[in-house]
């Protein structure tokens, strides 16, 4: 009896995940277009947040560069869109972001704490204004039109990015590199003296996290018809992943997913229902979350889980 | 056989020479003590050997190979492990994962996950932390955090172990236990360089002692020779007795 119990438990979580993913892939078949568009933007935030957490969540390096990589993806799509299949454009957007992140990372990941955070924020502004200067000087126009794609394709590609990201994040977390990233976050010097190649690991992980941000940008651009540097490199996309990750809690992989989903849905809800009080309510929720849920939603769930009878053994 | 040698090892911080033109050799299998007043450059010398800092000028050779300028992780994989004067544990990680980082990354020959787990369990047993392997490292006592650092260093399968003030801040019983641990480590055939202020430990455990003062090597010899050396008593032990 006991053995069968263990076996079912072992298959429950993967089972639920597969079921949810199957439902998500079939979603366009049974819901209206509005829901598809809404879930696409929720997925976009989830992708940005989870990819941000892969690097910053474990190493503690506060990166405010998501907008830079997201924007690089958007511009890849604006320039190459229509010239090649969209899936190639998305992968290219990711790869270019990876390269930029690896380059920037190898130069700046020696900066610690607030200096790294400020540098990454500066990076967004630097790319934004260089691009603006270039566009006005050489193309004569400020913005660009992006080839449009139907909403269902955008949704499916975004979902695809999300699935690949989820698998990547899970594999990293489970591997020895997840352990090493954690040790870097705890005590970088001791990690280096214990045989961890800290520089290489930080640069590659920073690049992987940028890959998914770039890919997300490349596909989202096709929804926006018109883009310019101000829209593409909006620092809003740097701060949202951080807030969402804090809101969801970074201890568990599902934390950032929950945080981003709840936050993105809340944003949509407040924006449509209370357009004038939207930011105000948002701010209050954020303050309350930071004060009373230091471990985020996932921390709260774990606490409740432990309080349930028999929950303790299930948790380990 | 010489396991480690330094030639003219020097390090300046601004205009101040923390370590000045120090030559040293370490024989395989011995326990070498490194003593000197505060600010003598002992920890700086450790940082130079473990590649946290690069000597300028100077050369450090490990088993005949020039290791000057290598990255810390490479030095570690070559077989030099260290602990820190102010403990640098992975505070929020479980005790066992602290050691696991060493065994998964530090060993020169790659270990399979199962082997790494086995090494970790054995080392926790060795330093006496088996019963607390699942609690966060920050909840350990200072003595146990120091033992944890030793276990993490040993997990990288070192041939040379650098111990920076293993016994500072420990009470009498803990010092005795730490000395016992040291003897066991030596029994494993690992060469040890230790910085220590606890004289009882230095005199008891070390085969040879080097004395640093203002970044310079002022004496070298067996514990007996050092204890009776006039220069050493003047600059170091002398100051201690008056203090």
Contact B90 A183 (CB under 8 A): yes
B176 and B243 housed in the same domain: yes
B125 and B226 housed in the same domain: no
B124 and B65 housed in the same domain: no
B105 and B144 housed in the same domain: yes
- Residue-range definition of the domain harbouring residue B94: 82-157
- Both structure tokens of B48: 């130079």
* Binding-site residues on chain B for chain A (CB distance < 8 A): 50, 52, 71-73, 75-77, 81-82, 84, 88-93, 97-98, 100-102, 104-107, 113, 152-153, 155-156
What is the reported pLDDT for A124? 95
Rounded to whole angstroms, the Cα distance separating A181 from B134 reads 19
Q: Which of A195, A197, A200, A299 to mutate to test the interface with B (most CBs of B within 10 A)?
A: A195
B240 and B179 housed in the same domain: yes
Contact A193 B52 (CB under 8 A): yes
Q: Which residues of B touch A194 (CB under 8 A)?
A: 76, 81, 101-102, 105-106, 152-153, 155-156
H helices within chain B, ranges in order? 42-49, 72-78, 95-101, 113-127, 142-155, 172-187, 199-205, 223-228, 230-232, 238-242
B123 and B195 housed in the same domain: no
B106 and B149 housed in the same domain: yes
Q: Which of B50, B152, B53, B164 is nearest to B106 (CA)?
A: B152
- Both structure tokens of B216: 């310079």
Q: Which residues of A touch B152 (CB under 8 A)?
A: 190, 194
Contact A192 B71 (CB under 8 A): yes
- Both structure tokens of A278: 């939207």
In angstroms, the first-to-last Cα distance of chain A is: 20
Q: What is the DSSP string of chain A?
A: -HHHHHHHHHHHHHHHHHHHHHHHHHHHHHS-HHHHHHHHHHHHHHHHHHHHIIIIIHH------HHHHHHHHHHHHHHHBTTB-HHHHHHHHHHHHHHHHHHHHHHHTT--HHHHHHHHHHHHHHHHHHHHHHIIIIIS-S-EE-----HHHHHHHHHHHHHHHHHHHHHHHHSHHHHHHHHHHH-HHHHHHTT--HHHHHHHHHHHHHHHHHHHHHHHHTTSSEE-HHHHT-THHHHHHHHHHHHH-SSSTHHHHHHHHHHHHHHHHHHHH-TTTHHHHHHHHHHHHHHH-TTHHHHHHHHHHHHSTTHHHHH-
Q: Answer yes or no: are the C-beta atoms of A196 and A180 closer than 8 Å.
A: yes
Q: What is the pLDDT of residues B113-168, one digit of tens each?
A: 899 999 999 999 999 999 999 999 999 999 999 999 999 999 999 999 999 999 88
Q: Is A122 exposed, middle or buried (0-12, 13-18, 19+ CB in 10 A)?
A: middle
Q: Which residues of B touch A189 (CB under 8 A)?
A: 52, 84, 88
Nearest CA in chain A to B153: A194
Indicate the Cα dihedral angle B119, B113, A172, A118, nearest 10°. Answer: 20
How close does chain B come to A89, measured CA to CA in Å?
37
- Look up the CATH number of the domain holding residue B32: 3.40.50.300
What is the reported pLDDT for B238? 58
How close does chain A come to B89, measured CA to CA in Å?
7
Phi and psi for B112 in degrees, rounded to 5? -75, 160
A186 closest CB neighbour out of B72, B81, B91:
B91
Residues 6+ apart with CB under 8 A from A7: none
Q: Which residues of B touch A180 (CB under 8 A)?
A: 101, 104-105
The structural domain count of chain B equals 2
Q: Answer yes or no: are the C-beta atoms of A41 and A77 closer than 8 Å.
A: no
Phi and psi for A181 in degrees, rounded to 5? -60, -40
B65 and B168 housed in the same domain: yes
Q: What is the pLDDT of residues B212-229, one digit of tens each?
A: 988 899 889 998 888 888
Going from the C-alpha of B151 to that of each of A158, B20, B48, B101, the distances in angstroms are 46, 32, 22, 11
B73 closest CB neighbour out of A176, A187, A192:
A192
Rounded to whole angstroms, the Cα distance separating B42 from B192 reads 14
Task: State the pTM of this model.
Answer: 0.89
Q: Which of B157, B186, B203 is the last residue of a domain?
A: B157
B97 and B59 housed in the same domain: no
Rounded to whole angstroms, the Cα distance separating B195 from B19 reads 15
Is the bond preceding B57 in cis, omega lying within 30 degrees of 0? Answer: yes
Looking up tokens 């298959």 gives: A11
How close does chain B come to A177, measured CA to CA in Å?
9
Residues 6+ apart with CB under 8 A from B29: B186, B189, B191
User: What percentage of residues in chain B have a pLDDT greater than 70?
Assistant: 97
B39 and B52 housed in the same domain: yes
Going from the C-alpha of A177 to that of each of A39, A252, A257, B100, the distances in angstroms are 32, 16, 21, 12
B49 and B166 housed in the same domain: yes
Q: Which of B103, B128, B157 is the last residue of a domain?
A: B157
Looking up tokens 């954690």 gives: A182
Of B19-23, B77-81, B236-240, least confident by mean pLDDT is: B236-240
Rg of chain A taking only CA atoms, in angstroms: 20
How close does chain B come to A259, measured CA to CA in Å?
23
How many residue pairs from chains A and B have C-beta atoms closer than 8 A? 75
Q: Provide the mean pLDDT of chain B.
A: 90
Q: Which residues of B touch A199 (CB under 8 A)?
A: 71
Phi and psi for B13 in degrees, rounded to 5? -110, 105
How close does chain B come to A9, measured CA to CA in Å?
23
B187 and B225 housed in the same domain: yes
What is the reported pLDDT for A7? 57
**How many other CB atoms are found less than 10 A from the CB of residue A300?**
16
What is the reported pLDDT for A300? 84
Q: Which of B123, B157, B191 is the last residue of a domain?
A: B157
Rounded to whole angstroms, the Cα distance separating B210 from A111 reads 37
Q: Which of B58, B97, B102, B98 is nearest to B80 (CA)?
A: B102
Contact A179 B104 (CB under 8 A): yes
How close does chain B come to A70, measured CA to CA in Å?
32
pLDDT tens, per residue, chain A with 316 residues:
444 455 566 677 888 888 888 888 888 888 888 999 999 999 999 999 999 999 999 999 999 999 999 999 999 999 998 889 999 999 999 999 999 999 999 998 888 888 999 999 999 999 999 999 999 999 888 888 888 889 999 999 999 999 999 999 999 999 999 999 999 999 999 999 999 999 999 999 999 999 999 999 999 999 888 999 999 999 999 999 998 998 888 878 889 999 999 988 988 888 888 888 888 888 888 888 888 887 888 888 888 887 776 544 444 3
């Amino acid at each position: 009896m006991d053995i069968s119990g263990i076996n079912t438990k072992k298959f429950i979580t993967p089972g639920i995940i597969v079921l949810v993913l199957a439902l998500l892939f079939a979603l366009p078949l049974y819901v209206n277009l509005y829901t598809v568009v809404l879930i696409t933007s929720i997925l976009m935030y989830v992708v940005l947040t989870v990819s941000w957490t892969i690097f910053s969540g474990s190493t503690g390096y506060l990166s405010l560069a998501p907008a830079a990589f997201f924007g690089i993806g958007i511009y890849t799509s604006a320039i190459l869109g229509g010239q090649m299949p969209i899936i190639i454009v998305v992968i290219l957007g990711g790869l270019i972001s990876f390269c930029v992140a690896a380059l920037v990372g190898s130069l700046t990941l020696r900066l610690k704490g607030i200096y790294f955070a400020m540098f990454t924020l500066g990076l967004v502004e630097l790319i934004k204004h260089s691009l603006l200067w270039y566009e006005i000087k050489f193309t004569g126009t400020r913005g660009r039109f992006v080839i449009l794609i139907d909403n269902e394709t955008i949704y499916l590609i975004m979902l695809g990015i999300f699935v690949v990201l989820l698998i990547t994040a899970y594999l990293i977390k489970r591997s020895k590199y997840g352990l090493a990233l954690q040790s870097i976050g705890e005590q970088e010097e001791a990690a280096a003296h214990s045989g961890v190649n800290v520089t290489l690991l930080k640069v590659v992980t920073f690049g992987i996290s940028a890959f998914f941000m770039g890919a997300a940008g490349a596909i989202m651009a096709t929804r926006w018809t018109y883009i310019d540097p101000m829209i593409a490199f909006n620092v809003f996309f740097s701060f949202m992943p951080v807030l969402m990750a804090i809101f969801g809690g970074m201890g568990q992989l599902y934390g950032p997913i929950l945080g981003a989903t709840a936050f993105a849905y809340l944003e949509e809800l407040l924006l449509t229902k209370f357009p004038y009080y939207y930011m105000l309510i948002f701010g209050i929720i954020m303050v309350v979350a930071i004060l009373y849920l230091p471990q985020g939603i996932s921390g709260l769930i774990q606490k409740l889980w432990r309080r349930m009878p028999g929950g303790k053994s299930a948790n380990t | 056989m010489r396991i480690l040698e330094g030639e003219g090892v020097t390090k300046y911080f601004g205009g101040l020479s923390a370590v000045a033109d120090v030559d040293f050799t370490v024989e395989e299998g011995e326990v070498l003590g490194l003593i000197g007043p505060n600010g003598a450059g002992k920890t700086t010398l450790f940082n130079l050997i473990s590649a946290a800092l690069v000597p300028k000028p100077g050369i450090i050779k490990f088993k005949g190979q020039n290791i000057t300028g290598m990255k810390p992780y490479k030095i570690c994989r070559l077989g030099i492990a260290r602990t820190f004067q102010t403990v640098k544990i992975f505070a929020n990680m479980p005790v066992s994962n602290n050691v696991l980082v060493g065994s998964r990354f530090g060993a020169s020959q790659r270990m399979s996950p199962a082997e790494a787990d086995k090494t970790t369990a054995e080392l926790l047993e060795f330093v006496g932390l088996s019963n607390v392997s699942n609690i966060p490292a920050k909840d350990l006592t200072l003595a146990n955090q120091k033992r944890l650092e030793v276990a993490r260093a040993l997990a990288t399968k070192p041939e040379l172990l650098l111990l920076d003030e293993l016994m500072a801040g420990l009470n009498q019983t803990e010092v005795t236990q730490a000395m016992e641990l040291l003897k066991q480590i030596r029994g494993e055939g690992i060469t040890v360089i230790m910085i220590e202020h606890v004289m009882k430990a230095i005199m008891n455990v070390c085969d040879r002692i080097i004395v640093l003062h203002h970044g310079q090597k002022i004496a070298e010899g067996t514990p007996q020779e050092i204890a009776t050396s006039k220069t050493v008593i003047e600059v170091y032990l002398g100051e201690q007795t008056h203090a």
